[in-house]
Amino acid sequence: MQQQFRKGDLVLVPGVVKYDQSKPESVYVDVQYQGFAVTADELKLVRPFFAVGDEAWRPAGIDGKELEKVTVLAVHDEMVWVRDESGSFASLKAVHLTRKLKPLEPEQGKATETPVVEA
pLDDT of residue 52: 96
Sign of CA dihedral 21, 22, 26, 28: negative
**What CATH architecture is 55-99?**
Roll (2.30)
The pairing of strands 98-99 and 16-17 is: unpaired
pTM listed for this prediction:
0.69
How many C-beta neighbours within 10 Å does residue 89 have? 10
Q: pLDDT for 6-17, tens place per residue? A: 787 777 888 999
Higher pLDDT among residues 109 and 77, named by residue: 77
DSSP string, 35-102: EEEE-GGG---SS----TT-EEEEEESSSS-EEEEEEEEEEETTEEEEEETTS-EEEEEGGG-EEPPP
Burial (CB count <10 Å: 0-12, 13-18, 19+), residue 48? middle
Higher pLDDT among residues 109 and 43, named by residue: 43
Domain boundaries, the chain: 18-45, 55-99
Q: How far apart are the first and last CA of the chain?
A: 67
